[in-house]
Amino acid sequence: MQPHAHGAYTRRTSACLPAFGGSGRAGGGGLLHMTATLFSEALDSTALTMRELEDRSIRSVNMVQLGRALTDATLDPPIRALVVYNSNPAAIAPNQNLVLEGLRREDLIVAVGDTPVEGVDDLQRLMAGELIGERVSATVVREGVRIELELVPVELDV
């Protein structure tokens, strides 16, 4: 509850509140105790994580260094894909201008065939199923100019 000096006093005081208020007599009116340590002791986390199955060739970049990693021309191999979980690096990562420069891409897909693409969901829906391995026309905007391209979607190994 309190990770600093005298934090235990705060915890003990708050543990007494149900008794002072009289709510300790009613069901659900008592003290809540976090059971995270019980869970971690009862669960063999090594069996869940299975470190031996991790692909050690996959690079991991700390978000503090994201701007530098995305814009470093000497990085070998360069970053071609980025998986971000539960975050928005364009808004919260340090050195925001460098991050935005690194996230910026040259082509923006605006249509597949005759269907407009307004977001990633549209693109995923259009590039799935029967289009895998088939030639597809796409309209992209590159440096402000609309260009027609022929693409062949492939299924990624995940």
Rounded to 5 degrees, what angle do the CA atoms 83, 87, 91 make?
110
In tens, the pLDDT along 26-72 reads 776 666 666 667 666 777 777 777 778 878 788 888 888 888 888 88
Q: State how far the Cα of 158 lies from the Cα of 156, in Å rounded to an integer.
A: 6
Q: Is the pLDDT of residue 158 over 70?
A: no
CA angle 96, 100, 104 (to 5 degrees): 175
Q: Read off the DSSP letter of residue 55.
A: -
Banded pLDDT at 1 (limits 50, 70, 90): very low
Q: What is the DSSP letter of 30?
A: S
Contact predicate 70/99, CB 8 Å: yes
Domain coordinates in residue numbering, the chain: 1-54, 56-103, 107-151
Residue 12 has pLDDT above 50, yes or no: yes
Q: What is the pTM of this model?
A: 0.39
139 Cβ neighbours under 8 A, 6+ residues apart: 109, 110, 111, 112, 146, 147, 148, 149
Q: CA 152, 59, 78, 91 torsion: positive or negative?
A: positive
Neighbours of 115 (CB within 10 A): 11
Cα(120)–Cα(133) distance, integer angstroms: 20
Q: Distance between CA 93 and CA 82 in Å, rounded?
A: 14
